Amino acid sequence: MGDVLVLENVYKSFGRRPIISDVSLTVKEGEVFGFLGPNGAGKTTTIKMILGLLSADSGRISILGHDIEKDFEKAMRNISGIVENPDMYGHLSGYDNLLIHARACGAKKERIDEVVQMVGMQMRIRDKFKSYSLGMKQRLGVAQALLHNPKIMILDEPTNGLDPAGIKEVRDLLRYLAHSQSMSVFVSSHILQEMQQMCDTVCIINNGKIVKQGSVDELTRGGSAGIYRYKLKPMEKAVNLIKENADVRIANIGQDYIDMRINEDEIEMFNRKLFENNIVITGLGTIETSLEQSYMEITGGGNVIG
Amino acid sequence: MSLVKRGALIKNERLKLYKKPSTWVLMGVIVLMTLLNLLFTRIFIRSYESFNLTWQDQYSSQIENMTRELKSNPDDAYIKQTLDTLKFLLENEIEPTDWRTDVAIEYYSIKHGMTESEIPSKPNTQIQPPAGTEKSDDEIKNRLEKLDSLLKNNDWKAFVNLQINDLKSGITPATNEQEKQVDIEMYELYLERNIIPVAQKSNYYYHGSGSGFDNITWKNRQVQSIRENKLNLVRGETTSGVLLTRAQRKNIENEIAVSLKRLSTNTPPITYDSFLGMLEGTSSSLSLLSILLIVYAGNIFASEYGSGTIKLLLITPHRRKKIFWAKVLLMLELTAIALVLIFALAFLISGAFTGFKGIASMQVLPLFGRIIHMPYLLYIALRFLLMLLPVIAYGALAMMMSVVTRKSAVAIAVTMLIMFGSNILMTILTALSGRMVVPGIKFLLFANTQIENYLPSAQSVFNIGMPNTVDATMTLGFSLAVLAIYAACFLWIARDSFCRRDVK
């Protein structure tokens, strides 16, 4: 699989305030790439730089090997995107809005009908854009981004304001595009669950710096600990035993459960230890995956590993 | 692999602008205002023409007055002379503008024993004839016979020759040789161009304008204006006594050349109420067009920023400068559409009023140092195009504001403020320009926007020759160059800002 989008040591500041420092990332062909970070982490700024709306202070951004500064037109021919909101011309119909974009990108007219079909907007496509609901605007935005068959599609918070059914629809569409049409999809979000369900690769950004990057499987399984809820029998004996041997790993002790901060590959060993001490495991469940754990650490919402 | 067709960007801009109802509403308002302007002018002309006594009525009432006055002053030579003259003119149906009026006045003045200096209607009556030129009885008799034969034979050439002789022999006094020469040249021009002269302007019996003076042929007007201009040049001052500047001198020389060219090519000036005159008058509405352009140009970039669609626009595979020029082109196109609409409708409406009379008339004007003879319709087209340049300059200013401020309201308001504010300022400075000229002011945009001041027009019969500019040294070419440079600078700044600045 080739690299579709490459960012190398990108810096950007507004005035004296640095917004993005030393961001490097690679999006491969046919993958859904999640760009995860809390509000104000620099997601939209990065996306705007990728789409050429902002110019980077230093570093290199290239799309299919075309530098976006030097070879803007060639680079842009392979990319599409929605930044912030799917803003279009309110006084024009959905169809006219697509027509404008199709002409600008050199897509054929027949393609408009195809993408309209794809997002299920046939019934309302002749209505004015301003009369659409947010969900319809989002769908039209995706249709617009699909018009010229780009190699990579950049979507800034595509599920924002959608109902659960809408979110699922978007998720399925994006996975279909990436895996069946081998189009790369770059999605930003501040909601982790969404990313986990949708993405192949995730990159976590905070305060303009990349904190973690890797495939969802890797990160979930990887070195850092998740939190698992054990229901044990006899409870008191178990709690005492764990307190003696692995106090730092305890995340929380409840009425009839204990939350443990352990790595996925440590689970087997931990379970055997409990068994050896005649403690029966009556229930075991995931509270937070490791990815969630790291994300909460970053965003300041979770416990800090001691 | 260029899938993008040429002209795609401009097509998009068109779709965006022309599907906006407000675009057409505003354009409709502007066009309508232009046409209303035309209609009002027309109605005004009509009502203006409708009160005028005929010359016969005026003469008759004068005779009544004079007869009454004669009863109280039975020996007044002037009253007797006037009565006889008026009766003679009425009997022979000699119109107030007929050259024979002059002859009749002189004839009856001499007959009633008035001295040379008392005779009205002579060109230089204010100058006393040199002492010792009292005429003998023989001379008087001779003179009366000559005048009588002129009246009887209705021979204008003989009349003109007599005038030349009078000047040369000193019977008609002159201030100096040069002015005398000017007068002689005038009469020679009458002979040369075969123009029947009119009665001199000091015709005390007729107080009409309009219909009566329409009978003065345009050729006579040209000859008179040449004389007046030549006298101004000889005296080095205007008729109102203001010293001539070098630029004014040049203007007067141009005007003489235009008059001569008119006579030699037989090109009458058109009147303001003729078909072409009305059509030409519409060009004054082009300032309305700048309002239209300012509103659109102020919007064209700012609205994209305002609605967030700028992002959509800029992530297409086109360099920003191409998008910029597409928008500039669209603005030009819109101006052209409005211009063509205004011109076409004005053409039809003024044609409907006047039956397209005189559509093939010609125009003579000084342009870039040469006297040019061209079809009037072409001249009107040229006039429209030249007057479009300030409109475009303001449009470019609005466009720059639109890019720099990214707010339509601010861009439009600031540009309008600059336009109207500077117009008032310039009117004041122009009024003062006779006394003082602010140095360097002619390089300002606003000092150069009144292109119509350089172009002759059938409407502006009142300010012949003297362009109303803040600095008399300014010329048409200068103003056009200044406007073009400003427009180019505004566009360059707008382009640079648009291509460089981040979209936050």
B420 assigned to some structural domain: yes
Using the beta-carbon criterion (under 8 Å), do B504 and A104 form an inter-chain contact? no
Give the SS3 label for residue A272.
helix
The model's confidence at residue B278, banded by pLDDT at 50, 70 and 90, is confident
Query: Angle of helix B376-405 relative to helix B408-432, nearest 10 degrees?
Result: 130
Is the model more confident about A84 or about B405? B405
Asked whether the ipTM of the predicted complex exceeds the cut of 0.90, the reply is: no
Does the structure show a pLDDT above 90 at B77? no
Q: Which residues from chain B sit within 8 angstroms of residue A75, using beta carbons?
A: 317
* Together in a domain, B64 and B36: no
User: Cα-flanking dihedrals φ and ψ of residue B500, to 5°?
Assistant: -95, -40
Spell out, as residue ranges, where chain A has pLDDT lower than 70: 1, 220-225, 288-290, 298, 300-306
Residues 6+ apart with CB under 8 A from B447: B426, B429, B441, B469, B470, B471, B474, B482
* Together in a domain, B150 and B290: no
Using the beta-carbon criterion (under 8 Å), do B315 and A87 form an inter-chain contact? no
Does the structure show a pLDDT above 50 at B3? no
* Together in a domain, B360 and B435: yes
pLDDT exceeding 70 applies to what percent of chain B?
87
Q: Give the fold, CATH level 3, of A3-221.
A: Rossmann fold (3.40.50)
Element (H, E) at B16: helix B8-18
Q: How many domains does chain B have?
A: 3
Secondary structure (H, E, C), B287-299 = HHHHHHHHHHHHH
Using the beta-carbon criterion (under 8 Å), do B316 and A76 form an inter-chain contact? yes
B8 assigned to some structural domain: no
- Looking at residue A292, its pLDDT comes to 73
Is the model more confident about B250 or about A43? A43
* Together in a domain, B111 and B239: no
Residues B320-344 have pLDDT tens digits of 999 999 999 999 999 999 999 999 9
Q: Where are the domains positioned within chain A?
A: 3-221, 226-299
Q: Out of B2, B16, B315, whose CB is closest to A76?
A: B315
* Together in a domain, B467 and B367: yes
* Together in a domain, B333 and B371: yes
* Together in a domain, B264 and B279: no
B240 assigned to some structural domain: yes
* Together in a domain, B112 and B258: no
Size of interface A-B (CB pairs under 8 A): 93
Is the model more confident about B45 or about B316? B316
B2 assigned to some structural domain: no
DSSP assigned state of A206: E
Does the structure show a pLDDT above 80 at B134? no
B79 assigned to some structural domain: yes
Give the SS3 label for residue A15.
coil
B309 assigned to some structural domain: yes
- Looking at residue A10, its pLDDT comes to 94
When the pLDDT of each residue in chain B is averaged and rounded to a whole number, the result is 83
Stretch B296-312: mean pLDDT = 92
Q: Out of B15, B308, B314, whose CB is closest to A96?
A: B15
Q: Which residues from chain B sit within 8 angstroms of residue A105, using beta carbons?
A: 3-4, 316-317
Q: Out of B307, B312, B504, whose CB is closest to A101?
A: B312
* Together in a domain, B404 and B495: yes
* Together in a domain, B130 and B226: no
- Looking at residue A113, its pLDDT comes to 93
Domain finish residue from B188, B207, B226: B207
> What is the C-alpha to C-alpha distance for residues B330 and B10, in angstroms, rounded to an integer?
7
Token reading at B435:
């006394």
The count of C-alpha atoms lying within 13 angstroms of the C-alpha of A223, restricted to the half-sphere facing its C-beta, is: 4
* Together in a domain, B244 and B192: no
The model's confidence at residue B125, banded by pLDDT at 50, 70 and 90, is very low
Using the beta-carbon criterion (under 8 Å), do A85 and B308 form an inter-chain contact? yes
Does the structure show a pLDDT above 50 at B384? yes
- What does each C-alpha distance from B504 to A13, A62, B120, B399 come to in angstroms? 12, 21, 83, 20
Which structural domain, as residue segments, surrounds residue B151? 56-207
- Report strand pairing: B362-367 vs A280-288: unpaired
Q: Are A189 and A159 in contact (CB under 8 A)?
A: yes
> What is the C-alpha to C-alpha distance for residues A247 and A260, in angstroms, rounded to an integer?
10
Q: Out of B20, B307, B503, whose CB is closest to A53?
A: B503
